[in-house]
Amino acid sequence: MSDRQTNPPAIELINITRRFVSPTGKSLTAIRDFNMTVERGEFVAVVGPTGCGKSTTLNLVTGLARPSAGEVRLMGAPVNGIDPRVGFAFQKDALFPWKNVIENVMAGPLFRGRSKAEAEKMAKDWLARVGLSKFLHHYPHQLSGGMRKRVSLAQTFINEPEILLMDEPFSALDVQTRTVMHEELLKLWAERQASVVFVTHDLEEAVALADKVYVLTAGPATVKSVYTIDLPRPRVVSEIRYEQGFIDYCKTIWEDLRQEVETSYRRASEAA
Amino acid sequence: MTDTTMDSVNTLFRPGTSDKEIEAAALKAIAARKRTVLFWQVTILVAIVAIWEIGARTGFIDPFFYASPSAIGSRLYEWATEGTTEGSLWFNLGVTMEEALIGFFTGSIAGIVVGVGLGQNKLLSDILSVYIKAINSIPRVVLAPIFIMIMGLGLASKVALAFIMVFFVVFANAFQGVREADRDMIANARILGASDWKVTREVIIPSAMSWIFASLHVSFSFAIIGAIVGEFVGARYGIGQLISIAKGTFDAAGMFAAIVLVMLVTLVAEYLMTLVENRLAKWRPQQSLDTH
């Protein structure tokens, strides 16, 4: 207990409920009685049926949205506005198309008041790490999807976030590029030991990357079950999928997830 | 432009043709197409001028009402060398340009500032939208007499008219551009650490920029319209005043000469604006294919 007090978890969501009210006055509950704890340096994946409110949980942690009830705590303190220790990787491209690669990566440090020379040095360093040193002056539209994702990662990591939130960041990539990006993410994460919440609809991706997998119910989302993935690290994502342990985890969790996916489909077809 | 590249690539080549030969053939095809376009552009101009001139000389077109290209040319020459009844041509052109340019710059800056400001404030824009719609529904030219009554025959009344014509176009586009700014991109900037002002300057304004530029193209001709209409209603100098005097003396050539002059000025301004836009928007895809 004393350890908890001196070193509280990175993220705590305590009995969170989040309602949306439409302009016509109809209320919709996206998340209900949601509890989640992410320890420091832990990699947590969140899976659930589409549209169940996975992304909403992330927005609550960034401080961009506030819970209707319950409390969000970061490093033991309640969230109050956007926290500088948080980094966010978006599903679709959120790069600034009018800035070239290095300017995009420099944006974070510059926004946070670093000098231009300093920001440039940091950006070059990060772009070298993601293998884009030759593309400093290209504009985003001149790059492939995988390269743009690397720029985004560099843009996020340059601020050295202690908490990294990822909202289906690789879902738009082709399968091969995706595997490469998984490896790069795990490498960067291992160096920095950030606490990660990785939202995805891809169960295999979740099992391959995470320490813990949260399965959510069909909306309103609440935690259905939590699985601890006890596969050894460092993991090689391209090979792990053929290991028996990995396959067993996927099967077990899928059994659990399938009911929720079916519920979600049934509701969608009833509504239509 | 994309069509040309498609065409030239789709041409069938014998097997064994090297890439160099294919590229050379493609370049040739592009150059040939450019020549064809230019040829027809010039031909159409020459044909119109020729028909007009011949029509006027044979009496098929009444030169009293429609003048003739040669009469317009000689009137322009006379104005340029000997000056007009209202003083030097360049002075008159200068007066109109001064009114239009001041109106254009103040109007577009005000339009951008108000558009970007209101675009980010939902409540204020909801409150004001009804008034904006009401003012916007007034045909701008009816304001000319009022401005002249209030501000007199000089520069101020014309600038005010040009301003009001430019302002609403730029405002509407800047407002819409801000509304269309990508939500994720704004969230990204905020999480990366941008303050409200930085988000506005580095995300919202750049993403509204293509909307704003689209409006600047039209609004320069609006500024000219504002200046000239203002001069019609009451002025001592300017191109509008020249047209007004030509009308009073049934001088068709003079009216057309003034129109040609305004047309040339607007085309040059448009060209300069495209240069600036291409410079600012070098990040946009396919800019290299632009051939204005």
End-to-end CA distance of chain B: 11
Quick check: helix, strand or coil at residue A196? strand
**What ipTM was estimated for this complex?**
0.88
pLDDT at B112: 95
- Identity of the residue in A82, A96, A97 whose CB atom sits nearest the CB atom of B191: A82
Chain A interface mutation, best of B184, B190, B192, highest count of A Cβ atoms under 10 Å = B192
Residues of A with Cβ-Cβ distance to B195 under 8 angstroms: 111
Cβ <8 Å between B192 and A108: yes
Residues composing chain A: 272
Q: Half-sphere exposure of residue A129, counting CA atoms within 13 Å on the CB side?
A: 21
CB A123 within 8 A of CB A102: yes
pLDDT above 70 for B6: no
Nearest CA distance, A93 vs chain B (angstrom): 8
CB B116 within 8 A of CB B204: yes
pLDDT, tens digit (0-9, with 9 covering 90-100), for A108-161: 999 999 999 999 999 999 999 888 999 999 999 999 988 999 999 899 999 999
Quick check: helix, strand or coil at residue B235? coil
CB A17 within 8 A of CB A34: yes
pLDDT, tens digit (0-9, with 9 covering 90-100), for A61-92: 998 888 999 999 999 899 888 889 999 999 88
Query: Partners of A52 in the beta sheet?
Result: none
Q: Which residue of A has its CA nearest to B287?
A: A141
Cβ-Cβ contacts under 8 Å for A241 (sequence gap 6 or more):
A204, A208, A247
> Which is it for the CA torsion A260, A262, A263, A264, positive or negative?
positive
Whether the CB of B184 is below 8 Å from some CB of chain A: the reply is yes
Q: Which tokens is B31 given? A: 């150059």
pLDDT at B14: 74
Residue whose C-alpha is closest to residue A215's, from A44, A33, A68: A44
Q: How far is Cα A30 from Cα A19, in angstroms, rounded to an integer?
A: 6
Q: How far is Cα B194 from Cα B115, in angstroms, rounded to an integer?
A: 21
pLDDT, tens digit (0-9, with 9 covering 90-100), for B169-198: 999 999 999 998 998 999 999 999 999 999
How much of chain B, in percent, has pLDDT values that exceed 70? 93
Neighbours of B94 (CB within 10 A): 14
pLDDT above 60 for B5: no
Residues of B with Cβ-Cβ distance to A62 under 8 angstroms: 187, 191
Nearest CA distance, B185 vs chain A (angstrom): 5
pLDDT at B1: 42
Cβ <8 Å between A94 and B284: no
Q: How far is Cα B203 from Cα A27, in angstroms, rounded to an integer?
A: 32
Q: How far is Cα B264 from Cα A167, in angstroms, rounded to an integer?
A: 54
Whether the CB of B47 is below 8 Å from some CB of chain A: the reply is no
Q: Which residue of A has its CA nearest to B187?
A: A64
pLDDT interval class at B11 (50, 70, 90): low
Longest dimension (CA), chain A: 58
CB B262 within 8 A of CB B228: yes
What is this structure's pTM? 0.80
Residue A143 DSSP label: S
User: Chain A residues within 8 A (CB-CB) of chain B?
Assistant: 62, 64, 82, 84, 86-88, 90, 92, 94-100, 107-108, 111-112, 139-142, 155-156, 159
Q: Which amino acid is at A145?
A: G
> Which is it for the CA torsion A59, A65, A71, A76, positive or negative?
positive
> Which is it for the CA torsion B23, B29, B31, B33, positive or negative?
negative
Quick check: helix, strand or coil at residue B285? coil
Residue A83 CA from chain centroid, whole number: 16
pLDDT, tens digit (0-9, with 9 covering 90-100), for B97-118: 999 999 999 999 999 999 999 9
pLDDT interval class at B286 (50, 70, 90): low
Q: Which tokens is B61 given? A: 């077109």
Cβ <8 Å between B283 and A141: yes
Q: Which tokens is B26 given? A: 């493609």
- Indicate left, alpha or beta for A116 from its phi (over 0: left) and psi (-120 to 50: alpha): alpha
Cβ pairs A/B, distance under 8 A? 62
Residues of A with Cβ-Cβ distance to B193 under 8 angstroms: 84, 108, 111-112, 159
The residue behind tokens 């197409």 is: B33
Cβ <8 Å between B192 and A97: no
Alpha-carbon distances of B126 from B119, B178, B227, rounded to whole Å: 10, 15, 32
Residues of B with Cβ-Cβ distance to A82 under 8 angstroms: 190-191
Whether the CB of B182 is below 8 Å from some CB of chain A: the reply is yes
- Identity of the residue in A97, A156, A159 whose CB atom sits nearest the CB atom of B283: A97
The mean of the pLDDT values for chain A is: 89
Q: Which tokens is A124 given? A: 């070059």
pLDDT at A4: 52
Chain A interface mutation, best of B185, B186, B191, B203, highest count of A Cβ atoms under 10 Å = B191
Residue whose C-alpha is closest to residue A104's, from A168, A68, A150, A171: A150
Cβ <8 Å between B190 and A155: no
By DSSP bridging, strand A223-228 and strand A212-216 are antiparallel
Nearest CA distance, B285 vs chain A (angstrom): 6
Residue B142 DSSP label: G
Residues of B with Cβ-Cβ distance to A141 under 8 angstroms: 283-285
Q: How far is Cα A189 from Cα A198, in angstroms, rounded to an integer?
A: 12
Residue B236 DSSP label: S
Q: Helix axis angle, B122-136 relative to B155-179, nearest 10°?
A: 140
Residue A105 CA from chain centroid, whole number: 19
pLDDT above 80 for B291: no
Cβ <8 Å between A64 and B190: yes
Q: How far is Cα A118 from Cα A19, in angstroms, rounded to an integer?
A: 43
CB A185 within 8 A of CB A209: yes
Nearest CA distance, B221 vs chain A (angstrom): 28
Residues of B with Cβ-Cβ distance to A112 under 8 angstroms: 192-193
Nearest CA distance, B27 vs chain A (angstrom): 23
What would the DSSP string read from start to end of B174-234? Answer: HHHHHHTS-HHHHHHHHHHT--HHHHIIIIIHHHHHHHHHHHHHHHHHHHHHHHHHHHHHS
Neighbours of B4 (CB within 10 A): 15
Cβ <8 Å between B189 and A62: no
Q: Which tokens is A183 given? A: 């490896």
Residue whose C-alpha is closest to residue A226's, from A193, A202, A258, A249: A249
Q: How far is Cα A10 from Cα A212, in angstroms, rounded to an integer?
A: 14
pLDDT interval class at A272 (50, 70, 90): low
